[in-house]
């Protein structure tokens, strides 16, 4: 527990204990405390309760659900931006960049299917560029050939370079690194031969 939490907790608890002891120990003060503190608190409670009971039940159930949903959606879209700001604010060290990001993604592939999809998209884009350069064709034609499996790659490589195949399989991380190594070897050989 932090010092700040302890300080605020004691600041709230100590006066409450003092008032309770005063009310119990001094009978003449009990009636005045009741009039000054308890009666207004009880009246405020019943007033708020009366207003809440007049609200439709649908409103009482829908509003909290909507608020929680909005907070969840906001946290999904706001948190990554803050992480990006923190990352951008750091001083870049030697070795950081696209390769460093790729290494981080590869390390996450065991547990994250989204990391597997990102790796496959990146490698698919690289393979498309290599195919276009090797045959002297535009990128659109290379993309079409890759989609229709009309290039000199093994079926396993073509299946691996199809990112949406990795999206729906949350447990596909077990053999992913082996397939990744085979695909990288093929792309390196494809690049050298071209």
Mean pLDDT per 10-residue segment, the chain (194 residues) = 71 79 66 77 91 85 90 75 51 64 82 83 88 87 82 79 65 73 86 79
The two three-digit tokens of residue 114, written as one number: 């989204």
Nearest-angstrom CA–CA distance, 138 and 62: 53
Nearest-angstrom CA–CA distance, 109 and 156: 18
Cα of first residue to Cα of last residue in the chain, in angstroms, is 63
| pLDDT, position 180 | 85
Nearest-angstrom CA–CA distance, 161 and 126: 10
| pLDDT, position 95 | 53
- 164-182 per-position pLDDT tens digit: 766 555 555 567 888 888 8
- 108-121 per-position pLDDT tens digit: 887 877 888 888 88
Smallest CA-to-CA distance from 190 within 162, 163, 153, 155 is with: 153
| 91 Cα distance to chain centroid | 24
Nearest-angstrom CA–CA distance, 58 and 78: 29
Longest pairwise C-alpha distance within the chain: 99
| pLDDT, position 96 | 63
Smallest CA-to-CA distance from 21 within 8, 12, 30, 11 is with: 30
Q: What's the pTM value of the predicted model, to 2 decimals?
A: 0.48
CA angle 101, 103, 105 (to 5 degrees): 70
| pLDDT, position 48 | 92
Nearest-angstrom CA–CA distance, 45 and 177: 61
Tell me phi and psi for residue 38, to 5 degrees. -70, -40
* Domain extents in the chain: 8-56, 98-193
Nearest-angstrom CA–CA distance, 52 and 54: 5
| pLDDT, position 85 | 52
Write down the number of H helices and E strands in the chain: 10, 0
Quickly count: other Cβ atoms within 10 Å of residue 174's Cβ: 8
């Amino acid at each position: 527990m932090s010092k700040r939490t302890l300080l605020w907790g004691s600041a709230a608890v100590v006066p409450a204990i003092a008032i309770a002891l005063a009310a119990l120990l001094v009978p003449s003060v009990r009636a005045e405390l009741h009039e000054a503190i308890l009666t207004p608190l009880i009246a405020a409670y019943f007033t708020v309760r009366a207003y809440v009971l007049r609200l439709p039940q649908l409103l009482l159930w829908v509003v909290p659900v909507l608020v929680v949903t909005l907070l969840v959606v906001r946290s999904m879209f706001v948190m990554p931006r803050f992480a990006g700001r923190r990352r951008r604010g750091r001083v870049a060290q030697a070795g950081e960049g696209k390769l460093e990001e790729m290494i981080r993604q590869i390390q996450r592939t065991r547990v994250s299917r989204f990391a597997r999809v990102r790796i496959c998209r990146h490698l698919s884009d690289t393979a498309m560029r290599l195919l276009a350069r090797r045959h002297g064709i535009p990128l659109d034609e290379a993309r079409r050939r890759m989609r229709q499996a009309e290039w000199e790659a093994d079926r396993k490589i073509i299946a691996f370079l199809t990112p949406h195949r990795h999206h729906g399989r949350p447990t596909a991380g077990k053999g992913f690194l082996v397939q990744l190594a085979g695909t990288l070897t093929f792309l390196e050989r494809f690049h050298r031969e071209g």
